[in-house]
Amino acid sequence: MQTAANAFQNYLGNVGTEVHPESENDPSGAKMKALAWFGKEDVRIVDAPVPAITEPDDVIVKVTASTICGSDLHLYHGEILAMQKGDILGHEFMGVVDKVGPNVKNLSPGQRVVASFQIACGECEFCQKKLSSMCDRTNNSSLQQFMYGTRDAGFFGYSHMTGGFAGGQAEYVRVPRGNVNLLPIPDHVPDEQALYLSDILPTSYHAVVDTGVEKGDTVAIWGLGPIGLYAAKWAQIKGASRVIAIDRVPFRLQFAQEKLGIETINFEEHKDIPKRIRELVGEKGVDVAIDCGSFHEPKTLAHKVQKFLMLETDVPETLNEMLLSVRKMGRCGIIAAYAGFANGVNVGALMEKGVRLIGNGQAPVHLYWKEILEEFILSGAFDPTFVLTHRVPLEDMPALYKAFDERVPGLEKVIVDTKFSKEFGKRGKDISSRRRSTTTTSSSPSNLSQPTQHTTNKFVQPIMSLFNNPFSGWANAPAMGESASQTHGSATGTQSFLRFRFIHPAAESDPSTLAPLDILNCTLLDPHSRRHFVISTSLPKPEGRLIPVPMTYIQAQDAQRTVVGSVEWQSPYPNVASSVLPRQALPAFLQTLSPSTVSFALQGRPYAWLKDDSTGDLCCYDTASSPQKNMAVLSKEHSGAMLLSVAPDVLQGGLLDSLVLTIVLILSGKAN
């Protein structure tokens, strides 16, 4: 299909535009990491040329954050025409200005910016009205012109149907017309709050505004991905009296209930959605229906056959449900990404009920992004981070696409880091402080992804939900840098025990579902909440493993399991070398053990740390076994320390309970 589409577009020839997708390469020959498409369900990290200033209005952006969008899955499955092997994906990204062309006057290197997913010229009839998605002068696709009778604006990373521009799931991006398509971000606004101004914040807002949600309306929303969640929130802000959301993924349904307090319908349990909606709101139906999902998996046999035979590209089932669910003269909005034809639309219901069917179109980002930033984000009226569940490195994106496609429980919206994120990005300290003070109920999102319903281990669940903490004693735990309210005596002479308890849903309910993690970083505290050193736990990484690394906290306990401190856990991803502390950050721990033996007991079983004088490594032995079994190796590495190996028993045996790793500190008067 892609071959035919590209051949037909070549036959038609490109439409003339003012902005061109072709980029010159950086003259230094420098390379960058980027995610590229190579076929159906085949995306790869590649080394691509760093783009250079090609046109005088260009800006080169160093990407500090990007993400994956539900619409990217259409590319992943090859459902969007005119994809070419090697196309760089991604249309939601932000970063810092690296270089500017001679015509760029309002931006300078080092400035933080977010990019609109659409590329506007800034001058045409539509751009003058800030209807940037309708720009006439940036998309050269003759195929889209042939299919739709017109063309959208060019989009980043979204096929040659939208201009063939390289996308933002990369370390660098060339942004044409940078004066127009980049929004400066204040330094105090973290990446987590700014990134989604690129697409899903304006898109969801546009769906609600364009479909005319008013105070007192009852609103039904199909699809509880990030756009659906945001649309529900915007509907509440606009004064909707009730919001009902339809999806089939249990985690998403519960997530929406807990985060937004809205009503939900699982369409796997309720096959007749219009009937269920009328049961909830009465025979009149809802005032507004919005499609945020475009569920491409057909429900009925008839559409399964038509889709298989390629007699339709999209299915009309959601649209028909909306038409039957709204009241007379009600409003139906379509913000979901449909691409072609759907057979069997209930045109009769549309006409006889006088329904206003609104194709919301691609959201005009430029019309809304300043309003959303200034009136909602800066004011605190809308915190976009409530959908954020994971932070992953760019290198893990192929696995992220697979997990996103499989709708892995616990996965909603992610931030994708690059090598520039730590140096140039802006992390949300306010998010951390808010999470520290948050309490958790039994139905909080941290409990929604329990793997008892999911027996596969294709994806490791988050250690903790992003904003909710599962520790009942959290309020009594001192924050980092504070002192504990009490001192704790030594457990055995001068030895005391600190536990780092990695609360993991899989381990709590079904240890067999837990797959090995890649790199765990945690800071070890003494009973006085003093920082001692970082241990990096490196475990076998199955091929294609996606490691969710949400920003979270780890609780430290003493031997009596009294909470003595808490610490934020943020894992540096790319390599082990960057995940260890320098030698000077280590306590006397490594230097004072030779030739002594440090013993401790965990769950009634004796263990000992022994120093190997030949290697300098510290080895943890199960001293009850014969011969003594080496359970773990703590090694000096890259002028630091890292836990090189952990025996399978640690993951699958008695030590797995709550994933407790016990480390022994020599708490002498010299420890600091």
pLDDT in the model for residue 56: 97
Asked if residue 426 belongs to a domain, the reply is: no
Average pLDDT over residues 299-323: 86
Q: Residue 173 maps to which CATH number? A: 3.90.180.10
Domain identity same for 508 and 655 = yes
Other residues' Cβ atoms within 10 Å of the Cβ of residue 267: 18
One domain for residues 92 and 186: yes
Task: Examine the domain organization and report whether 376 and 498 are in the same domain.
Answer: no
Cα(66)–Cα(46) distance, integer angstroms: 16
pLDDT digits (tens, 9 = 90+) for 442-460: 222 222 222 222 222 222 2
Residues 6+ apart with CB under 8 A from 171: 32, 33, 34, 50, 62, 63, 394, 418, 419, 420
Mean pLDDT computed over 236-244: 96
Residues 213 and 193 in one domain: no
pLDDT, tens digit, for every residue of 181-206? Answer: 999 999 889 999 999 999 999 999 99
Q: Are residues 141 and 190 in the same domain?
A: yes
Lowest-confidence pick of 15-29, 269-283, 506-520, 599-613? 506-520
pLDDT at 626: 67
Lowest mean pLDDT among 304-308, 326-330, 509-513, 570-574: 570-574
The arithmetic mean of pLDDT across residues 649-663, rounded, is 34
More confident residue, 560 or 511: 560
pLDDT at 454: 25
Three-class SS state of 555: strand
* Residue scoring higher pLDDT (138 or 496): 138
Structural domain boundaries, residue 55: 2-199+365-391
Q: pLDDT class for 667, splitting at 50, 70, 90? A: very low
Of 395-399, 473-477, 617-621, 646-650, the least confident: 473-477
Same domain? For 38 and 111 the reply is yes
Per-residue confidence at 467, pLDDT binned at 50, 70, 90?
very low
Same domain, 373 and 460: no
Residue 348 confidence (pLDDT): 96
* Residue 424 lies inside a defined structural domain of this protein: no
More confident: 588 or 16: 16
Query: Which tens digit of pLDDT belongs to each residue from 502-536?
Result: 333 333 334 343 333 333 333 333 333 333 333 33
Q: How far is CA 456 from CA 20, 511, 545, 602, in A?
A: 45, 12, 13, 30
Residue 30 has pLDDT above 70, yes or no: yes
Instruction: Looking at the structure, tell me whether residues 258 and 375 fall in a common domain.
Output: no
Look at 15-24, 231-240, 616-625, 646-655 and tell me which has the smallest mean pLDDT. Answer: 646-655
Residue 598 lies in a domain: yes
pLDDT tens, 66-89?
Answer: 999 988 998 998 888 888 999 999
What's residue 618's pLDDT?
A: 58
Which is higher by pLDDT, 631 or 475? 631
Q: Are 591 and 533 in contact (CB under 8 A)?
A: no
Do strands 326-334 and 356-359 pair parallel, antiparallel, or not at all (unpaired)? parallel
How many separate domains does the chain show? 3
Q: Which residues of 55-88 are buried (b: 16+ CB within 10 A; e: fewer)?
A: bebbbbbbbbbbbbbbbbbbbbebbbbbbeeebb
pLDDT of res. 147: 86
The pLDDT tens digits for 113-163 are 999 999 999 999 999 999 999 999 999 988 888 888 989 999 999 999 899
Over 90: is that where the pLDDT of 321 sits? Answer: yes
pLDDT of 599: 52
CATH of the domain at 321: 3.40.50.720
pLDDT digits (tens, 9 = 90+) for 385-422: 999 988 889 999 998 999 888 887 778 899 999 999 98
* Sign for the pseudo-dihedral over CA of 573, 575, 580, 581: negative
Is the pLDDT at 571 greater than 80? The verdict is no
**Does the pLDDT at position 641 exceed 50?**
no
pLDDT in tens, 422-436: 888 876 533 322 222
Is residue 232 included in any domain, yes or no? yes
Q: What is the pLDDT of residue 492?
A: 25
Mean pLDDT estimate for the chain: 72
Asked if residue 428 belongs to a domain, the reply is: no
Q: Is residue 437 part of a domain?
A: no
Residue with the larger pLDDT of the pair 616 and 33:
33
Residue 510 lies in a domain: yes
Asked if the model's pLDDT at residue 586 lies above 60, the reply is: no
Residue carrying structure tokens 């596969």: 456
Residue 328 and residue 372 share a domain: no
Q: Which residue in the block uniquely carries the two structure tokens 């249990």?
A: 250
Of the ranges 1-10, 219-228, 373-382, the best mean pLDDT one? 219-228
Which residue shows structure tokens 């998309």? 139
96: its two tokens: 């810092």
Percent of the chain residues topping a pLDDT of 90: 47
Please tell me whether residues 384 and 465 are part of one structural domain.
Answer: no
Please, are residues 94 and 185 in contact by the beta-carbon 8 Å criterion? yes
pLDDT, tens only, 373-389: 999 999 889 999 999 98
CA-wise closest residue to 163 among 151, 173, 174: 151
pLDDT, residue 282, reads 96
Residue-wise DSSP of 582-634: -GGGS-THHHH-TT--EEEEETTEEEEEEE-TTT--EEEEETTSSSPEEEEEE
pLDDT at 634 over 60: no
